[in-house]
Amino acid sequence: MPDLILSNAALPDGRTGIDVAVENGRIVGIGAGIAAQAGQVGEVIDAGGRLVSPPFVDPHFHMDATLSLGLPRMNQSGTLLEGIALWGELKPILTVEAMVERALRYCDLAVARGLLFIRSHVDVSDPTLRTAEAMIEVREKVKPYIDLQLVAFPQDGYFRSAGAVELLARSLDMGLDIVGGIPHFERTMAEGAASLEALCRLAAERGLPVDIHCDETDDPLSRHVETLAAQTLRFGLKGRVAASHCTSMHSMDNYYASKLIPLIAEAELDVIPNPLINITLQGRHDTYPRRRGLTRVAELRAAGVNVSFGHDCVMDPWYPLGSGDMLEVAHMAAHALPLTSREGLRWLFDAVTVNGAKTMRLDGYGLDVGARADFVLLQAADPIEALRLKAHRLLVVKNGKVVSRAEPKQFRLDLPGRPGAVDEASYAPRAAG
Ligand SMILES: [Zn+2]
């Protein structure tokens, strides 16, 4: 007997009138007519023809800093440099309890948004490693509803900051999952390249994945992603290395980029742009024209590279906005890249769902029989409509259990001769596709 059937849903692949049956935390049936044929069912929820999707995935976040906006003061200029200075002021006064509390609050919001998979970088450059301690506690606490992967991130530089080599190793011993790095922040290009060799060697020795803040700059000569690809191949890490940001590729010479992108594909790097943050923090030294700073998504896709988007920051020293909504991230990408072809808009939905799952190497993710019963019901007809509306999440299911519910969003109007209510999702275009 199914515990739950979601009936009459639309799927991201365009099928409509689909029922999804769930038993013991797994999807046991997906297709038309399942609800009608099922005998006794724990609960049947009518999707009303709306879109059901696998959960949203955020492969690049900073959970140790989130919701710290205003502590110990506001970033008045809104620049990266003041943000870095602010984080430096905040770090010595952070407590484990406060970090855990803020992260748990963020995770509450994430669940309500249908965001159930998060990879967070953890700044391990403070000798107390309080950040690592706090985030490991959070990973354990949210396990029933969010899969949280933790990257050991030497935010002040692996070679530039005294003690970082030892601190990063210690944080991995404590139980962080992934090796991080920041080559463009090392003192020289050579030290940046050397840091990537050391970090890939460490990952190979420990059998861990790698996720690097790579070339988060407008400098077209910041070419560390090339070294990351080469070291990935050298140490046999193909398929388990991600390059985050890669904003310098925006400004690179086209000829060089045409050599670089096949190398990224050969090493099977995942590339993780962070559209909300890249569009706000890059281009700050420009007058006009002002660069957008997003990496070359179209060319990477054409080369077969898996591209997924991260949220990066929500209300922290670097970014005062953000809401835990991966559709807001994809919506920004549509504008900032820009990418508004029908195929491109549809792909943007994948970039915050299935592509992120591939980057995080999630098992049992997706709307398939046998997969984990994790899914989200959206107040939208299809993926492009969901993107347009940053659609309201009506239902979030984790391991077959409803973990968040909301009433459909509706505005009540009082206008002469006009309808009494507006449902924004009812404005979907009539023509399919
Ligand atoms: Zn980041």
- pLDDT range class, residue 248, cuts 50, 70, 90: very high
pLDDT value of position 39: 87
pLDDT value of position 79: 87
**Ligand 1 centroid – CA 411 distance (Å):** 37
**Ligand 1 centroid – CA 243 distance (Å):** 11
User: CA nearest 68: which of 97, 90, 92, 96?
Assistant: 90
pLDDT at 294 exceeding the cut of 70: yes
Spell out which residues have Cβ within 5 A of ligand 1, the ion: 312
Parallel/antiparallel/unpaired status of strands 241-245 and 270-272: parallel
The mean per-residue pLDDT over the stretch 364-379 comes to 98
Active site residues: 216
Residue 390 burial by Cβ neighbours in a 10 Å radius (0-12, 13-18, 19+)? middle
pLDDT value of position 304: 98
pLDDT value of position 431: 64
Sequence-ordered list of residues with C-beta below 8 angstroms from that of 27, at least 6 positions apart, any chain: 20, 21, 367, 368, 369, 370, 371, 372, 373
Residue 57, amino acid: V
The torsion angles phi and psi of 127, rounded to 5 degrees, stand at: -60, -20
pLDDT value of position 432: 53
Domains of the chain, with CATH numbers?
A: 4-54+366-427 (2.30.40.10), 56-359 (3.20.20.140)
Say which DSSP state 426 is in. Answer: G
**Ligand 1 centroid – CA 122 distance (Å):** 9
- pLDDT range class, residue 12, cuts 50, 70, 90: very high
Query: What confidence tens digit (pLDDT) does each residue in 39-67 have?
Result: 888 999 999 999 999 999 999 999 999 99
pLDDT value of position 139: 98
Report how far apart, in Å, the C-alpha atoms of 338 and of each of 171, 195, 254, 292 are.
39, 33, 18, 10
**Ligand 1 centroid – CA 183 distance (Å):** 13
**Ligand 1 centroid – CA 384 distance (Å):** 27
**Ligand 1 centroid – CA 62 distance (Å):** 6
Question: Where is 378: in which H helix or E strand?
Answer: strand 375-378
**Ligand 1 centroid – CA 392 distance (Å):** 26
pLDDT value of position 140: 98
pLDDT value of position 295: 98
Sequence-ordered list of residues with C-beta below 8 angstroms from that of 291, at least 6 positions apart, any chain: 218, 250, 251, 282, 283
**Ligand 1 centroid – CA 61 distance (Å):** 6
**Ligand 1 centroid – CA 224 distance (Å):** 16
As a whole number of angstroms, the distance between CA 53 and CA 11 comes to: 7
CA 186 to chain centre: 25
> Taking all residues of the chain, what is their mean pLDDT, rounded to a whole number?
97
The mean per-residue pLDDT over the stretch 236-265 comes to 98
- pLDDT range class, residue 81, cuts 50, 70, 90: confident
**Ligand 1 centroid – CA 7 distance (Å):** 39
pLDDT at 4 exceeding the cut of 70: yes
The mean per-residue pLDDT over the stretch 197-209 comes to 98
Residue 325, amino acid: D
**Ligand 1 centroid – CA 150 distance (Å):** 12
pLDDT at 373 exceeding the cut of 60: yes
As a whole number of angstroms, the distance between CA 325 and CA 309 comes to: 12
**Ligand 1 centroid – CA 227 distance (Å):** 19
Say which DSSP state 14 is in. Answer: S
Sequence-ordered list of residues with C-beta below 8 angstroms from that of 207, at least 6 positions apart, any chain: none
Query: What confidence tens digit (pLDDT) does each residue in 257-278 have?
Result: 999 999 999 999 999 999 999 9
